[in-house]
Amino acid sequence: MSNNNSEGSDNSNKDLLISRWNELSPEEVLSDAFHEIRNPIYQIVGFISMLKDTNLSSDEISRIVNNLFDQAIHSKNIVDSVYDYINTKQK
């Protein structure tokens, strides 16, 4: 669930990424995009590994699920930014 402030922040981050990528070569854009995507994916894997621990309290599980959601949204936003960047370059 996003609120308007979060969506505004997401758009600002997307605009910053696209602006930065406009200064780079296509190879550098690809490298940067993969770096941006890789970090949250590694965090997601780490959080899932923590969830496998059956001794977690409900508060710990809730915190991990919230972090998983945040990292998944961050990854989605990076993928959306790559898509938007590619579309602007094709015009």
Domains of the chain, by residue range, sit at: 30-91
30-91 sits in which CATH class?
A: mainly alpha
pLDDT reading at 73 higher than 80: yes
Please give the Cα distance from 42 to 57 (Å, whole number): 23
Q: What is the pLDDT of residue 62?
A: 92
11 band by pLDDT with thresholds 50, 70 and 90: confident
| Mean of all residue pLDDT scores within the chain | 83
Of 5 and 58, more confident: 58
4 band by pLDDT with thresholds 50, 70 and 90: very low
Please give the Cα distance from 74 to 80 (Å, whole number): 10
25 exposure class (CB count in 10 Å sphere: 0-12, 13-18, 19+):
exposed
pLDDT reading at 38 higher than 50: yes
7 band by pLDDT with thresholds 50, 70 and 90: low
